[in-house]
A and B are shown apart, each in its own frame.
Chain A
Amino acid sequence: MHSSSMATPRTLFDKIWQRHVIAQRRGQVLLYVDRQFLHDGSVHAFNALAARGLKVRRPAQNFGTPDHYVPTVSRSAADAPTAEIRFMVENFARNVELHGIPAVQLGDERQGIVHVVGPEQGLTRPGLLIVCGDSHTSTHGALGALAFGIGQSEAEHVLATQALWQAPQKTMRIRVEGRRPAGVSAKDVILAIVGRIGVGGAVRHVIEYAGSAIRAMSIEERLTVCNMSIEAGARAGMVAPDDTTFAYLADRPFAPKGRLWDEALAYWKTLLSDPDAKFDAEVSLDAGTLEPMVTWGTNPGHVLPVTGAVPAGETRALDYMGLAPGTRLEGLPVDRVFIGSCTNSRIEDLRAAAAIVRGRKAKVPALVVPGSGLVKRQAEAEGLDRVFREAGFEWRHAGCSMCVGVNGDIGRPQERIASTSNRNFEGRQGRGVRTHLMSPAMAAAAAVSGAIVDVRKLA
């Protein structure tokens, strides 16, 4: 008798989750954590650990890089705009050193946004259970890992035990079928999904993205999609690993080598949902009908095709955004453009933006912040930095920068910013700043037009 024929069909999520169960107590599961990523916002976890006098139990299974608070004008913490911000960067370096945690610090070319660095270094791999004290940890699911954001108390718990108590999650499958039309990027796909199911649409769920449009995506595109799972309320988003995943991982610095690679690969190939696996919720989208998307309000679910007009009803959001119902998104003047963040700062994002910028000039201040030092180097090798600079864009060093603004990169009150980041919350990019989320190509188009425009008309 083959046990496999008797087994209950399982989702990709079920397979990874079940493999990490250490113990169960009264509805909670103690999960083994393969890897924890740490960044310069992890200060409260380290402080709490120190207050208990505890050590980091498995330093090698943690990995750190400063990103939230780092200056993007240089690679020196001394260039932070305040002593408090500088302290965050330097204190992080001291903490990881004290505990013997592997890390890439400011000045190391491998430093960057933690959700860019993890995949880039091969630290993010199929089947791993990954946590980080940052909600966009969902990004890492693009490689078939189960990865989710946690709080600082949970991060402290993982430092102390390499394990974490969690409640079982529900599953949601989102199928995206068909071919994306020209001008429609992975960012537009995920913005359309968040618009469809809403910012609370996937609360208490883990999303698996499936369908031909997802299969056709590069890893970088999948990272963009999984990144914004949290914007639909999902704890995590994931894509079953396939040949695209394996090709991406081969020869990454931390990827298994030789015999270990072969063994790992055999396991990775089992990581897909069984044909009859049941999901708690199913959603489907036709990629062929999608258009470039732009947010108009104060959460990522407030989103429409660029051809749309601002709806009535959300008075509070519209007051904040300084928009009247019926205003067309196309033609709306912007004051500033930000290209960067863990959503859209990888090489493919910068190429897409540069393709629009080439031969044109920025009409408003525009900032390009690569996701890592290695992305920056690659972009420079391809001459993309020159394209941006010659068009009047600022070309910065890696960090979270104007996505969250805690390093001091913020806009001014009432400024309207076209941004490739993930959150258009009130005050997110600076007090009173009005954020419109969009793809890198759309943000580049906004920069060279001084207004939100339909990139399909520029390309």
Chain B
Amino acid sequence: MSGKFTSVTALAAPYEPINVDTDQIIPARFLKAPRKEGYGRFLFHDLREDPAFVLNRAPYDKARILVASDNFGCGSSREGAAYAFFDAGFRAIVAPSFGDIFFNNCLKNGIVPARLPADTCRELRRRLTQAPGTEITVDLETQLVDGKHAFAVDPFFREMLLKGVDEIGLTLTLLPEIEAFERAYAAKTPWMSGS
């Protein structure tokens, strides 16, 4: 967990392709790098060799929010995709839908994945394209983008992000429940978890 998150107002970049897989976000050959060395340099690594790639162009090179398209972050479970966004300064990604594992990985890494309707995302991307440098606001407290577009984050993870709660720490407070579960399990169904 990466501290408390309430709201981010930042320059946003539009990214049009649908079904962006995590192999594009970070090629697999970089996943063995130690996290402490920083993953920001790997973000869209191979695509960024094209000078025209959106995050290479001013002012989008300063973006900290991405407005993307359907099924963003599909494919591999590599958490390096979320590390790369976070280490490159991104704190929110807005899209109509996300790959499920990438969505969870964002929440665990201080990035708000905000689902907005496809029309709203398209309109936001159009605005960002026509007026480069536009800032948008993703507010986790009100669950609104730019004060008007409502998005839903599971209340559990919203609270964790808002309060900066450590998830493992929280779960360990439920250890008595976990142990009770295990006792019942061992008594009734020893063949379930017994290896």
Contacts and interface: CB of A to CB of B under 8 A. Distances in A.
Contacts of A427: 23-24, 27, 46
A332 interface: no
A425 B190 contact: no
A150 B77 contact: yes
Interface residue tally on B, bucketed by range: 35 or more
A341 interface: no
Nearest to B49: A431
16 contacts: A23-B174, A26-B155, A32-B182, A34-B193, A43-B32, A52-B168, A60-B195, A149-B77, A153-B109, A153-B167, A157-B168, A203-B71, A301-B19, A406-B29, A423-B21, A426-B23
A134 B28 CA distance: 12
Interface in B5-61: 17-19, 21, 23-24, 27-29, 31-32, 34-35, 46
Contacts of A25: 156
Contact of A87 (B32, B70, B193): B32
Given A153-B79, A425-B23, 5 more contacts: A154-B105, A165-B167, A267-B189, A427-B46, A431-B46
A165 B107 CA distance: 12
A260 B171 contact: no
A60 B195 CA distance: 7
B142 interface: no
B195 A254 contact: yes
A50 interface: no
Interface string A304-345: 000000000000100000000000000000000000000000
Interface of B: 17-19, 21, 23-24, 27-29, 31-32, 34-35, 46, 70-71, 74-80, 82, 97-101, 104-105, 108-109, 154-157, 159, 167-168, 171-172, 174-175, 177-178, 181-182, 185, 189-195
Contact of A405 (B29, B34, B71, B190): B29
Given A30-B171, A135-B77, A264 B191 contact: yes
Contacts of B182: 32, 162
Interface residue tally on A, bucketed by range: 35 or more
Contacts of B191: 256, 260-261, 263-264
Given A150-B104, A203-B100, A28 B181 contact: no
A32 B180 CA distance: 11
A43 B80 CA distance: 12
A354 interface: no
A6 to B, nearest CB: 23
A27 B155 contact: yes
A43 B192 CA distance: 27
A412 interface: no
Contacts, number: 175
Contact of B157 (A28, A84, A134, A260): A28
Contact of A150 (B18, B97, B101, B155): B101
Nearest to B96: A200
A84 B32 contact: yes
A425 B178 contact: no
A256 B190 CA distance: 9
B40 to A, nearest CB: 16
B104 A151 contact: yes
B171 A161 contact: yes
